[in-house]
Amino acid sequence: MMLEEIEKSPEAVIIAADEVFKTYELMCLDKLKEIGRSTARDWSFAMGYTHRSSLAKIIRRITEQYPEMIKIYYNRFPRLYEAL
């Protein structure tokens, strides 16, 4: 079935080749952008976790790999995170 679609339209081949794969960190950032500025607890519950600190390692990896994509408000407790 997929081969039939590719044979019919060459645009399908271009679209299939340009597919971008996302890491889990980028998926979490998309969810944060969707829910807006929030705490780690709200963010982890939005991702489907049941405990508030479930995203701790993910947040650490995001701040190391993609520091330009997240803004962290350290001056209050609990911290607020915002996707840029």
pLDDT, tens digit, 9 for 90 and up, residues 21-72: 888 999 999 999 999 999 999 999 999 999 988 899 999 999 999 999 999 9
The string of DSSP letters for 24-43 reads: HHHHHHHHHHHH-SB-HHHH
8 Å CB contact between 82 and 42: no
pLDDT above 90: residue 83? yes
Residue type, 83: A
Residue located via tokens 């081969």: 3
pLDDT for 22 equals 84
Residue 53 pLDDT = 87
- Out of 3.30.70, 1.10.10, 3.30.420, 1.10.3470, which CATH number does the structure's domain 21-83 have? 1.10.10
- CB-side exposure of 11: number of CA atoms within 13 Å? 0
pLDDT of residue 11: 59
What ranges do the domains of the chain cover? 21-83
**Could you give the 3-state DSSP secondary structure of residue 9?**
coil
Distance, CA of 47 to CA of 40 (rounded, Å) = 10
pTM here is: 0.71
